[in-house]
Amino acid sequence: MNALLNFLMNKFGQWNFIGFILGIICLSGLGYAIQAQLTNHFQKEKEQYLSTQADIIQTEIISSLEQKLNEYNSWSDHPIILEFAKSKKAQAKNQGADFPSIAEMNFIALLIDNGVLSNINYLNTYITSSTGELLWHAETSHYSSFSQHQSFEQKLALLGEYKSTYLLAKLKQQNPIRFLLLYPIFDEDVHVANFAVELNINTVFQNIVKLAKASTESDIYLYDHQLETYSISEHEFTPIDTFSQRPKIKTSFIDEETINTWRWSKAADFGIYLSQPISVMDESLKVIHLSMFIFVFFTFSVLFVLLLVLNKSQKQIRLNQKNILRQQNRLQHIQDLSLVAGIEVAHKNNKIIWHNGFEYLFNLVDKNIDRPKQLLNHLSNKQKIRYKKCFDKVKQTHTSAQLEIQTKSNDGKHFYFLIKMFNQAAENPIDASTIILISDITEQKLKQVAALKDEVDYRDLILQSAHDGIVGVDLSGQINLMNQASKAMLNYTEQQTKQLDFDTLVEISQDEFGLVRICILEKIIQDTLPINLTCWFKRANDERFTVDCRVSPIIKHGKLVGAVYLFKDISLIKQAEQERQALSEQLRHAQKMEAIGQLTGGIAHDFNNILASVLGYAELAQDCIELDRIDKVPDYLEQVTLSGERARDLIKQMMVFSRKESQQLQCIELTKLIDDSLAMIRPLLPSTINIELDLNANAQLKVDNVQFQQLIMNLSINARDAMAEKGTLHISTQMVINAEASCTSCHQEFSQTMVMIKIQDTGSGISKETIKKIFDPYFTTKDLGEGTGMGLSIVHGIVHQLGGHLVVESLENVGSSFQVYLPCVNSEEDSNSAAPLPQAQQLNLNDYQPNILIVDDETSIAELLADKLTLAGYKTVTTSDSVEALSIINDVNFDFDCIITDQTMPYITGLELAKAAIEVKPELPIILCTGYSDKIDEKTALSAGVFAYIHKPINFNLLKLKLNQAVSHH
Give tens-digit pLDDT for 493-517.
777 776 777 777 777 654 444 443 4
My answer on whether 503 and 476 are in the same domain is yes
Half-sphere exposure of 541 (CA within 13 A, CB side): 5
For residue 532, pLDDT beyond 50: yes
pLDDT, tens digit, 9 for 90 and up, residues 850-894: 899 999 988 888 888 888 888 888 999 999 998 999 888 888 778
My answer on whether 108 and 250 are in the same domain is no
295 CB-contact burial (10 Å; exposed 0-12 / middle 13-18 / buried 19+): middle
My answer on whether 77 and 196 are in the same domain is yes
397 and 372 Cβ atoms separated by less than 8 Å:
no
Q: Is residue 687 part of a domain?
A: yes
Write down which residue in 280, 298, 328 finishes a domain: 280
738 and 788 Cβ atoms separated by less than 8 Å:
no
Looking at residue 225, its pLDDT comes to 67
Residue 930 CB partners (closer than 8 Å, separation 6+): 902, 903, 904, 910, 936, 949, 951, 952
Q: CA separation (Å) from 239 to 169, 170, 231, 836? A: 13, 11, 6, 137
Model confidence pTM above 0.75: no
My answer on whether 364 and 406 are in the same domain is yes
Q: CA separation (Å) from 217 to 54, 271, 486, 586, 591? A: 12, 19, 112, 122, 122
My answer on whether 475 and 545 are in the same domain is yes
How far apart, in Å, do the first and last CA atoms of the chain sit?
A: 147
Phi, psi (5° rounding) for residue 127?
Answer: -120, 125
What whole-number percentage of the chain has pLDDT above 90?
5
Helix axes of 633-658 and 571-626: crossing angle, nearest 10 degrees: 170
Residue 455 CB partners (closer than 8 Å, separation 6+): none
763 and 809 Cβ atoms separated by less than 8 Å:
no
My answer on whether 260 and 344 are in the same domain is no
3-state helix, strand and coil shares in percent for the chain, rounded to the nearest 5 = 45, 25, 30
Q: Is residue 598 part of a domain?
A: no
Q: What is the mean pLDDT of residues 369-386?
A: 71
Q: What is the mean pLDDT of residues 364-371?
A: 49
My answer on whether 175 and 86 are in the same domain is yes
Phi, psi (5° rounding) for residue 837?
Answer: -70, 140
**Rounded to whole angstroms, how far apart are CA atoms 695 and 672?**
11
The CATH number for 191's domain is 3.30.450.20
Nearest to 150 by CA among 51, 248, 228, 40: 228
Helix axes of 705-723 and 571-626: crossing angle, nearest 10 degrees: 80
Which residues are bridge partners to 230 per DSSP? Answer: 222, 239
Nearest to 180 by CA among 154, 146, 136, 204: 146
For residue 100, pLDDT beyond 50: yes
Looking at residue 370, its pLDDT comes to 47
Q: Is residue 16 part of a domain?
A: no
The CATH number for 897's domain is 3.40.50.2300
* Pairing mode of beta strands 544-556, 805-811: unpaired
Residue 24: count of CB within 10 angstroms of its CB: 15
My answer on whether 193 and 210 are in the same domain is no
Residue 351 CB partners (closer than 8 Å, separation 6+): 345
Q: Is residue 963 part of a domain?
A: yes
807: left (phi over 0), alpha (psi -120 to 50) or beta: beta
**Structural domain count of the chain:** 6
220 CB-contact burial (10 Å; exposed 0-12 / middle 13-18 / buried 19+): buried
818 and 759 Cβ atoms separated by less than 8 Å:
yes
Mean pLDDT is lowest, of 44-48, 477-481, 759-763, 951-955, for 44-48
My answer on whether 735 and 821 are in the same domain is yes
Q: What is the mean pLDDT of the chain?
A: 77
Q: Using 50, 70 and 90 to split pLDDT, how confident is the model at 344? A: confident
- Concatenate the DSSP letters of all residues of 327-371 into one string: HHHHHHHHHHHHTEEEEEEETTT--EEEEE-GGGGGGGS-TT---
Q: What is the mean pLDDT of residues 600-622?
A: 70
My answer on whether 374 and 238 are in the same domain is no
Q: Using 50, 70 and 90 to split pLDDT, how confident is the model at 947? A: very high
Looking at residue 854, its pLDDT comes to 93
Return the amino acid letter for 809.
Answer: E
Q: CA separation (Å) from 302 to 294, 299, 306, 650? A: 12, 5, 6, 118
Write down which residue in 522, 551, 569 finishes a domain: 569
Q: Which helix (H) or strand (E) holds 85?
A: helix 79-94
Q: Is residue 161 part of a domain?
A: yes
Q: Is residue 28 part of a domain?
A: no
Looking at residue 877, its pLDDT comes to 92
8-state DSSP, 570: -
For residue 900, pLDDT beyond 90: yes
Q: Is residue 345 part of a domain?
A: yes
8-state DSSP, 428: S
**Rounded to whole angstroms, how far apart are CA atoms 230 and 175?**
10
Q: What is the domain extent for residue 510?
A: 469-569
The CATH number for 817's domain is 3.30.565.10
Mean pLDDT is lowest, of 8-12, 267-271, 358-362, 466-470, for 8-12
Write down which residue in 159, 179, 200 finishes a domain: 200
Is 509 strand, coil or helix? coil
My answer on whether 791 and 814 are in the same domain is yes
For residue 184, pLDDT beyond 70: yes
My answer on whether 816 and 735 are in the same domain is yes
Q: Is residue 7 part of a domain?
A: no
Walk across the sheet containing 433-440 and list its strands: 352-356, 340-346, 433-440, 414-424, 401-408
Chain-centroid distance of CA 651 in Å reads: 65
**Rounded to whole angstroms, how far apart are CA atoms 504 and 543?**
14
pLDDT, tens digit, 9 for 90 and up, residues 726-762: 899 999 999 888 878 888 888 888 888 889 999 999 9
Looking at residue 535, its pLDDT comes to 81
Looking at residue 25, its pLDDT comes to 76
Cα diameter, the chain: 191
pLDDT, tens digit, 9 for 90 and up, residues 27-73: 677 767 776 777 777 777 777 777 787 788 878 888 888 888 887 77
Q: Using 50, 70 and 90 to split pLDDT, how confident is the model at 589? A: low
Q: What is the mean pLDDT of residues 178-188?
A: 86
Return the amino acid letter for 249.
Answer: I
678 and 713 Cβ atoms separated by less than 8 Å:
no
For residue 223, pLDDT beyond 80: no
Handedness of CA 945, 949, 952, 956 (dihedral sign): negative
